[in-house]
Amino acid sequence: MATIIGRKQEQKELRRLFSSDEAEMVVVYGRRRVGKTFLVNQVFAQEEFAFKVTGLYKKRMNVQLENFTTALNEYSNSEVSPTPKTWMEAFDQLKSHLKKTKTGKKRVLFFDELPWMDTKGSQFLGAFEWFWNGWGNAQDDLMLIVCGSATNWIINKFFKQKGGLYNRANSKMFLKPFTLAETEQYLQKQGIEMERYDIAQVYMIMGGIPYYLKQLEAGRPLADNIDNCFFKTNGKLWDEFENLYETLFAQSDIYIRIAEALASKRMGLTREEIIVVSKLPDNGALSRALKDLVKCGFVRAYTYYGRKTKTQTYQLADFYTLFYFRFIKDSYGQDEHFWTHMLDNPKKNTWLGYSFEQLIKDHIEQVKKALGIASVLTQQSCWFIEQRDLDDDTLSGAQIDLVIDRRDKAINLCEAKFYSGEFTIDKAYSLTLRNKAAAFKAATKTRKSLVPTMITTFGIKRNMYSGNIQQEVTLDDLFT
């Protein structure tokens, strides 16, 4: 049995439901390549599935039914013939098989990539509802696990639609990418020894996705590995982008255009700004796509600190998507050593700075722990103001990467710096930091204590200006 990295809560929940004395339905969902199938297979490696089938991507109903029948033959050790013409017939055959094969123990049914079986006009969902609501959920020896990469299908057909499956799932597991610590563990398991500075760069490219990380080879320099995966002709992940969005979302072109628009703006865009940049129509399809992207973790929605209006700003949060639009989209096939040749390139350095901010936001619990406020209720946001909106002519416009507003009457104003060594605060940058704090206080009228905070890779160098920083977080803290 292979070792499972992380996923401790998910493993515990799956085993708890397996041990229950009632019928259980579990939905495991998340982006392509995040490890959903691996998790289920490994947790139940010591158990025999009573039935397991995997939907086929972009295959017609008759092919899906043939695939279903083949799987049922395998588990029933007999011919189920002829191949059913409808999904009602198929699920009736499955029900007959399960009635004949009772063991007195819990039995697991695993439908992997279930959304792909729901082809247009197939009436699959109605048959599935009939099978589970009309019979399956009354069988206390059954545990049904539904898995899917088509996240918007799972959300809209299973969780939100007011139909027969509404609220039927006993557990909903959204599988997130690995954290930095889990990424380090996974790479070590693959025999790849890498310093944390480089692991952070890998994370800012691949986003903690196990399948992507698996493509890295031990013994290769980091830049060479990235070239081999993304920039070499027919490299390991050269065509991943379109496959990723097509498998996750119906009408994937809308989602891609939103993502591309957001990739162009560091601080993000409002809905109205997305419409202008993407040239998408202002309609329900856009609203649904934004909600889906947020729920899938591809986009982060927030409101600027201190804004009276609750208008949301959307920020691209998926590392691979950002990397694709910044570098792969226009560079693939031009230079097989593209990433190797990007050493100290200003465009790369700008990307590193932005991606490090996103990495920090994805590890906010680790940041809070390092600051000693793990148990304090907080809200996180960004903040900026233009000079014309300030009443004080002595102050300049300012932007703050991360604002941590604390219930204990303090606010951490965090600056993020991804740097190859200790970061030096010189006189000019010290004045910039002072201006930011003064502008923030003047604009927000806050009475809370302001805590200037630096989040860096290797800390800040001690000098006459570093004393103004009250708290520090380093890259190592993000690996806890």
Same fold, 242-323 and 373-478: no
Please check the confidence at residue 169 and state whether its pLDDT lies above 60: yes
- C-beta neighbour count of 318 within 10 angstroms: 23
> So what's the pLDDT on residue 407?
96
pTM over 0.85: yes
Please list, residue by residue across 29-59, b when 16 or more beta carbons sit within 10 angstroms of its beta carbon and e when fewer do.
bbbbbbbbebbbbbbbeeeebbbbbbbbeee
Q: How many residues does the chain have?
A: 480
Name the band, by pLDDT with cuts 50, 70 and 90, for residue 309: low
Handedness of CA 145, 300, 226, 198 (dihedral sign): negative
> So what's the pLDDT on residue 308?
67
Axis crossing angle, helix 252-263 with helix 240-248, rounded to the nearest 10 = 120
> So what's the pLDDT on residue 338?
95
> So what's the pLDDT on residue 164?
62
For the chain, the domains span: 8-174, 180-238+332-352, 242-323, 373-478
Residue 453: which of 427, 425, 480, 476 has the closest Cα?
Answer: 425
- Judged on CB neighbours under 10 Å (0-12, 13-18, 19+), 89 is middle
Contact 44, 108 (CB under 8 A): yes
Backbone φ and ψ for 281, nearest 5 degrees, come out as: -70, 150
- 460-466 mean pLDDT: 96
- 381-387 mean pLDDT: 90
Q: What is the spatial distance between Cα 385 and Cα 369, in angstroms, rounded to a whole number?
A: 29
> So what's the pLDDT on residue 250?
79
Cα–Cα distances (Å) from 134 to 101, 158, 160, 399, in that order, read 19, 17, 20, 57
Q: Where are the alpha helices (DSSP H) in 364-474?
A: 364-371, 427-444
Q: Which amino acid is at 363?
A: H
Strand partners, 404: 380, 412
Please check the confidence at residue 262 and state whether its pLDDT lies above 80: yes
DSSP assignment of 97-140 equals HHHHT--SS-EEEEEETGGGG--TT--HHHHHHHHHHHTGGG-T
Please check the confidence at residue 79 and state whether its pLDDT lies above 80: no
Please check the confidence at residue 357 and state whether its pLDDT lies above 60: yes
Contact 419, 405 (CB under 8 A): no
Domain 373-478: CATH architecture, name and number where available: 3-Layer(aba) Sandwich (3.40)
52, HSE (Cβ side, Cα atoms, 13 Å): 10
Pairing of strands 299-302, 142-148: unpaired
Which residues touch 422 (CB under 8 Å, ≥6 apart)? 456, 458, 459, 460, 461
Name the band, by pLDDT with cuts 50, 70 and 90, for residue 307: confident
Name the band, by pLDDT with cuts 50, 70 and 90, for residue 165: low
pLDDT tens, residue by residue, 33-77:
999 999 999 999 888 899 999 999 999 999 999 999 999 998 887
Paired tokens of 52: 């397991």
> So what's the pLDDT on residue 295?
87
- 130-154 mean pLDDT: 91
- 144-168 mean pLDDT: 77
Please check the confidence at residue 236 and state whether its pLDDT lies above 60: yes
CATH 1.10.10.10 fits domain 242-323 = yes
> So what's the pLDDT on residue 152?
76
- C-beta neighbour count of 208 within 10 angstroms: 24
Residue 465: which of 436, 440, 428, 438 has the closest Cα?
Answer: 428
> So what's the pLDDT on residue 81?
65
Backbone φ and ψ for 143, nearest 5 degrees, come out as: -125, 115
* Mean pLDDT for the chain overall: 92
The H-or-E segment that residue 417 falls in is: strand 410-417
> So what's the pLDDT on residue 80?
61
What percentage of the chain exceeds 90 in pLDDT?
A: 76
Q: What CATH number is given for 8-174 in this structure?
A: 3.40.50.300
Please check the confidence at residue 154 and state whether its pLDDT lies above 90: no
Axis crossing angle, helix 87-100 with helix 124-134, rounded to the nearest 10 = 30
Which residues touch 329 (CB under 8 Å, ≥6 apart)? 241
Helix, strand, or coil (residue 399): strand
Cα-to-chain-centroid distance, residue 12: 21
> So what's the pLDDT on residue 249?
86
The H-or-E segment that residue 151 falls in is: helix 151-153
Name the band, by pLDDT with cuts 50, 70 and 90, for residue 1: low
